[in-house]
Structure 1
Amino acid sequence: MDLNQITIPSLDVEKASEFYITLGLHLIVDAAPRYVRFECPDGESTFSIHKVDTLPKGDGITIYFEDDNLDDLVSNLQKKGIIFNQLPEDKSYLWRETRLIDSD
């Protein structure tokens, strides 16, 4: 089994698209303002965003992307204006992790 895609809701698909393009995803389907789909720069998985009138309540959605050079990636994204809630740090569960919140 392989993961095909993850789809998340957005109030503003075009604004969300800009954010994920800045992160480095490649736009492969542009049906904005209602839907967009990206492919990750590595691997086979895709990621899409669809328009909703209201966002789901509760804890929301957590998405994990991986990069072998996390510190360099974070530094480059900060130069592009991306704000991180947590800078890269080694976790007790053996991952190096950073956190950010998308525009929605």
Structure 2
Amino acid sequence: MPKGEGIYVYFECENLDYQVEKLKQNGIEFDQEPTDQRWLWREARLKDVDGNQLILFYGGENRLNPPWRI
């Protein structure tokens, strides 16, 4: 495997907190609980067996039309 942080794979989940809780109940461990980010998305992070970053997020309206869009 190459060195570094690996690949980042994003999965958008409309009901992020619920999905994270459901995965945790099935034994999945997260590196970061659902957190509001400064770019106005809510994200939770974990790693796969190869160390790649898996990011579950909800961007909602801010994903397509952020307030800073011109």
Aligned match of 2:47: 101
Shift of 1:56: 1.5
What is the CA–CA distance in structure 2 between the aligned matches of 1:70 and 1:94, rounded to whole Å? 14
Aligned match of 1:81: 27
What is the CA–CA distance in structure 1 between the aligned matches of 2:4 and 2:29, rounded to whole Å? 23
Shift of 1:57: 1.5
Larger Rg: 1
Question: Is residue 65 from structure 1 mapped to residue 7 from structure 2 by the alignment?
Answer: no
- Superposition pairs for residues 19-34 of structure 1, below 5 Å? none
When normalised by structure 1's length, the TM-score is 0.46
CA RMSD of aligned residues (A): 0.8
* Segments ≥4 residues shifted beyond 4 Å: none
Greater RCO (Cα-Cα under 8 Å, separation 6 or more): 2
Q: 1:90 aligns with which of 23, 26, 36?
A: 36
Shift of 1:59: 2.3
Aligned match of 2:63: none
Identity of aligned residues (%): 54
What is the CA–CA distance in structure 1 between the aligned matches of 2:32 and 2:23, rounded to whole Å? 13
Q: Structure 1 stretches of 5 or more lacking a match?
A: 1-54
